[in-house]
Structure 1
């Protein structure tokens, strides 16, 4: 701790945290969750547990005169055996809405995942300290966005002047659910994920329920969306259902209907946008499952491959082409009784021409430049002109 300042310690409570649905009190501090405890209790899947505890879109929001802040955190790093080392998670600091500083902490807990065997090893570590100094004088609103891809226990917050919760900005709340692409995949920092970029351009408050590997039409996720206050809602459905090889066509359409029915129970008239998958050539016409290409382990570049047989679509196995057609049909039929339900083809966000210019580095996940592209396109299509979220938001 820097001793040249007189530090004020502020408890980390829900009043200064936005984008999380629950704060779990741990032995070290608080752990933000993006699914509530009752939902987590309904699924023992380790991938979901890891994804929902990674705080994509979660930020501390403060109003203060402080010119220096310290945040003690205990991160959980992920290491994939044989794959390239992952960079430390990035914390973005915004002053009055402008990105002014970034920082990372080393150390912390380490989760070692062997993609070849599926085994997981957890090694405990120690907390580290982020320091943001040289902030401008005067009253200002501060946001500290937590790493979108690294679970982070918040241990302590210190400042050289008192802080209080930032006032409610009065903006509409956009609640979004999707896969690892919505979670943030290979964006470089938490404000660089496509939903964060789109929310900033749309002038809305983001709650990001993008869950890597876990956008699987789970009923508890639908109920979480139902119970979460929001003005604008979008659900990006499809890629995880294919790459998990989770269900056949017979189950998919009723599951989508049930998912939308549940959301509508809590939000009967909110604009609700169903977004189909962006282009992903390996799964356009080839079913799942999707698996790491083990031949690329150790080469410094991890790739994914589709393991299904295209001929199996005749017996109901799902591809992205099949899913887009089903989602378009479902929304078209439901919109006769639900005028606030809309459809967006994900290829309008990232399509064949984009893949030629900005290919998916691992065949599955967009890189940082592609997140920028998708965020800008979504903002233009949804938040401007006659976009379904445009009324009064921008």
Structure 2
């Protein structure tokens, strides 16, 4: 399905403004309102510079894991939007896609225009009965919703999914979705959809360096399950040496625990990185050494009473046997799962999380 420049959508339609209270921006931490649009952000917008002081604020406005939801009995839907180009990346270009999911099943994957101006797309063949419609927004492009239209006379209501465990995940570009086929098929989205979890993704490319402000945010967000994938950027960017990494991870977890003292919490070291396993990064650590220090920090915390903290060894989740499922490009390392790799990572992560006994329990606030 292709998009086209914005124009009059339907001769007889019901327009739903971008700020209509029946629209839910699930997975967003904050919303930025502009003239005729809403942009979901995955950091507190007014303080975003405190989280990413060296730049990269655009990543906070990339709505990985965010879905705009409503219930309607319309058999068609028009979406008006603005989307910006992805940043320059090493490796294959990320194309902007949006998934339309109806009652939990992906109905359409739409290729978006990314010229930054007004555009729209139309989806036909929706159920035509009252159904929950989710628009899974692009994971590597900024996106602003300008509004929706459904058939004249159609019913529209806010979605009501019932009790769902709230899952907060923090990670790097591996978790943001790099290489996935579409937004609802990133590995984190697949885990959330298959388990019925309400995902909030704090995954930011070139981040996940155990930033204190991110720990404070995880502390303050509602959560029934907490997960952290760490290591790839710590090793690649040299943000911590061996001893500092253990101290930083201990401090990060302890900060999160101030708000979630008994919530199940899994720390996963980075997945296989064929070109970096035995090559020292700027701080002198190889990827293997980095994983060992992550394990050491989790062991220390468990020895000091945090029995609901769990460790997942990244290569057990996605290891050397899976390198054929990784993105490959001339001049860049193999660090990210390709489209066929995301479902494998999702399945392995879910299985090992369950075997570790790290499963969410609905709190009274979420019920």
Instruction: With the length of structure 1 as denominator, give the TM-score of the two structures.
Output: 0.83
Match of 1:279 among 268, 272, 282: 272
Q: Please, which moves more after superposition, 270-279 or 68-77?
A: 68-77
Determine if contact 1:247/1:317 at 8 Å carries over to the other structure: no
Deviation of 1:272 (Å): 0.5
1:262 aligns with 2:255: yes
Other-structure match for 2:231: 238
3-state SS of 1:99 partner: strand
1:373 aligns with 2:366: no
Deviation of 1:260 (Å): 0.4
Q: What's the CA shift string for 1:313-335, capped at 9, x where partnerless?
A: xxx52222112111111111211
When residues 81 and 65 of structure 1 are mapped into structure 2, their CA distance, relative to the original with a 3 A threshold, is closer
Unaligned runs of 5+ in 1: 110-125, 289-307, 309-315
Mapping of residues 96-115 of structure 1, within 5 Å:
96-109=103-116
1:17 aligns with 2:8: no
Other-structure match for 1:169: 162
Other-structure match for 2:301: 334
1:218 aligns with 2:235: no
Q: Please, which moves more after superposition, 175-184 or 279-288?
A: 279-288
Other-structure match for 2:61: 53
Determine if contact 1:194/1:375 at 8 Å carries over to the other structure: yes
Deviation of 1:390 (Å): 6.4
When residues 166 and 285 of structure 1 are mapped into structure 2, their CA distance, relative to the original with a 3 A threshold, is same
Distance 1:28 1:242 in 2: 42
Mapping of residues 286-297 of structure 1, within 5 Å:
286-288=279-281
Deviation of 1:130 (Å): 1.9
Other-structure match for 1:303: none
Paired residues, what number?
347
Match of 1:153 among 140, 144, 150: 144
Distance 1:171 1:82 in 2: 37
Deviation of 1:179 (Å): 0.6
Other-structure match for 1:44: 53
Q: What's the CA shift string for 1:119-157, capped at 9, x where partnerless?
A: xxxxxxx11102112211211111110011111011112
Other-structure match for 1:311: none
1:317 aligns with 2:276: no
1:7 aligns with 2:11: no
Determine if contact 1:39/1:221 at 8 Å carries over to the other structure: no
Distance 2:300 2:209 in 1: 22
C-alpha RMSD over aligned residues = 2.1
Distance 2:345 2:214 in 1: 24
3-state SS of 2:261 partner: coil
Determine if contact 2:98/2:109 at 8 Å carries over to the other structure: yes
3-state SS of 2:275 partner: helix
Distance 1:173 1:254 in 2: 28
When residues 341 and 79 of structure 1 are mapped into structure 2, their CA distance, relative to the original with a 3 A threshold, is closer
1:208 aligns with 2:201: yes
Distance 1:245 1:27 in 2: 41
Other-structure match for 2:3: none
Deviation of 1:162 (Å): 3.8
Match of 1:348 among 303, 316, 332: 316
Q: What's the CA shift string for 1:275-294, capped at 9, x where partnerless?
A: 01111022212233xxxxxx
Determine if contact 2:100/2:133 at 8 Å carries over to the other structure: yes
Q: What's the CA shift string for 1:18-47, capped at 9, x where partnerless?
A: 000000112341111001135413133333
Deviation of 1:261 (Å): 0.9
Mapping of residues 173-192 of structure 1, within 5 Å:
173-192=166-185
Q: Please, which moves more after superposition, 266-275 or 5-14?
A: 5-14
Determine if contact 2:94/2:179 at 8 Å carries over to the other structure: no
When residues 11 and 79 of structure 1 are mapped into structure 2, their CA distance, relative to the original with a 3 A threshold, is closer
